[in-house]
Structure 1
Amino acid sequence: MLDTHGRALVQPSIQATAQFFINKGLSANQVTVIAFLVGISASVLIYFNQAIIGVLVLWLSGFLDAVDGSMARQSKTTSGWGTVLDVTFDRVVEAGILIALALKHPDVQILFLFLVLAISIIFTMTIFLTVGAVSDKQSAKSFYYQPGLAERTEGFILFSLLALFQSQLILWTIVFIIVEILTGLQRLLEAYRILK
């Protein structure tokens, strides 16, 4: 939701950073890898009790994740491989946060909720990626970007809440699960409407 409706507010800084990296000779895929490494380091920081720094680093990786796409579009170097790399690394960074928190909090109830959360993310992402692959609709990205209640920014907010308020992990994980399921159902209904 925030990505769809708020992107225009941050797009100038994303484009300026993209142009800066292009001028420095970096490719979009190189920035994708940098964003991935930064994102993974957020998990390490969170595991080692540096949650505030870890969350800031996570958001930096998210910013770079937006920059790489802008770089590809500005330099006209978009590719299927770049899209696959980008989407795959996004999921690995998210999994890294969950793994770091699971290692810190090996309580059975929390681990079960993390499992349900992971399944709800898989559910939502499966619909998102499948609709993007089979839809004739176009977007600025290399596939149809289906809007929803929880997009990348909302995910980052929820992962940040998990990391920063670990004493309330059960509450925030349940909230995250509900948001993911609602998003999946919303996208499923839209898929039925546009693909039937």
Structure 2
Amino acid sequence: MIDAILYRRLNPLLSAVARPLVKLGIKADQVTVIGLIFGLGVLPALYFQEYLWALLAILLNRLCDGLDGAIARQTHRTDAGGFIDSVFDFIFYSSVPLGFLLADPATNAVAAGFLMLSFMATAASFLAFAVLASKHGIENPRYPTKSLYYMGGITEGFETIVAFILFCLWPQHFVLLAFIFAGLCWFTALTRLYLGYQTLHALTGVADGKESSTNR
């Protein structure tokens, strides 16, 4: 919901941190891979119920996610880099509820499973529209440097990380927090579904109208 604002505020800081990394020859894709490794560290941390270590893994993953983009902007942005960045993000997001399921299957399984289903809904609505937005040349002025069209919602990256932090700080309340956040995810997914359908339906109608005029 506030990713665009946060992005503009953090971009100068991330750019400053990225400059010495660029001078050392560190590549954006390398940071993306390192970020995934950090992110997957939540699985053993949560399995052993080491919640502060899990929180550290989450924060390091997000730091790398910001730095890889900053490095790419100072060197060379590629679709390949944007591709693996998006894929790794979704793998990381799903690993957190899986980790809580592993921590206490009897208590957390249903909530964790429902949250992963909710993530699937937000991811599908995001990615499907991104593909078709690219096909129709729809621009996104809120995120001009993103590799994919970034369709917003009430649960974007910032809100997801806040939820993950709350999970780690109050693991005893994971079930309640997970169901609340899953509900917000479904609101986001349904909103994206409605707005995406209306946008693409309008574009299809315009295209059909032009084709009909040409055929007369």
Scaled by the length of structure 2, what TM-score is found? 0.83
Note if contact 2:97-2:113 (Cα within 8 Å) is conserved in structure 1.
no
Contact 1:124 1:184 in 2 (8 A): yes
Alignment counterpart, residue 190 of structure 2, candidates 185, 190, 193: 185
Cα separation, 1, equivalents of 2:43 and 2:17: 24
Number of the residue aligned with 2:205: none
Corresponding residue of 2:97 = 98
Deviation at 1:134, TM superposition (A): 1.0
In structure 2, distance between residues paired with 1:49 and 1:58: 14
1:82 corresponds to 2:81: yes
Q: Which runs of 4+ in 1 moved over 4 A?
A: none
For 2:29, the aligned partner's letter is N
Instruction: Report percent identity of matched pairs.
Output: 27
Does structure 1 residue 53 correspond to structure 2 residue 58?
Answer: no
The residue number in structure 1 matching 2:40 is 40
Aligned length in residues:
194
1:51–1:163 contact (8 Å) kept in structure 2: yes
How far does residue 190 in structure 1 lie from its aligned partner after superposition? Answer: 2.2
Kindly state the Cα deviation for residue 140 of structure 1 after the two structures are TM-superposed.
1.6
Q: Displacement of 1:121 after TM fit?
A: 0.6
Gaps of 5+ in 1: none
Structure exhibiting the larger radius of gyration computed from Cα positions: 2
> Contact between 1:14 and 1:66, CA under 8 Å: does it hold in 2?
yes
**Aligned alpha-carbon RMSD (Å):** 1.6
Instruction: Give the C-alpha shift of residue 177 in structure 1.
Output: 0.7
Tell me which residue corresponds to 2:116: 118
Q: 1:187 to 1:8 in 2, by over 3 A?
A: same
Residues 109-149 of structure 1, C-alpha deviation per residue, up to 9 Å, x if partnerless? 63122211111111111110111111122332112111111
**Contact 1:101 / 1:163 at 8 angstroms: preserved in 2?**
no
- 2:192 maps to amino acid: R
1:156 pairs with 2:161 = yes
Q: Given the two structures, how large is their TM-score scaled by the length of structure 1?
A: 0.91
Offset of residue 18 of structure 1 = 2.1
Matched, 1:137 2:135: no
Mapped partners of 1:153, 1:39: distance in 2: 16
1:15 aligns with 2:20: no
Q: Is the 8 A contact 1:47 1:100 kept in 2?
A: yes
In the other structure, the counterpart of 2:26 is 26
User: What is the distance in 2 between the residues matched to 1:42 and 1:35?
Assistant: 12
For 1:81 and 1:28, how far apart are their aligned partners in 2? 11
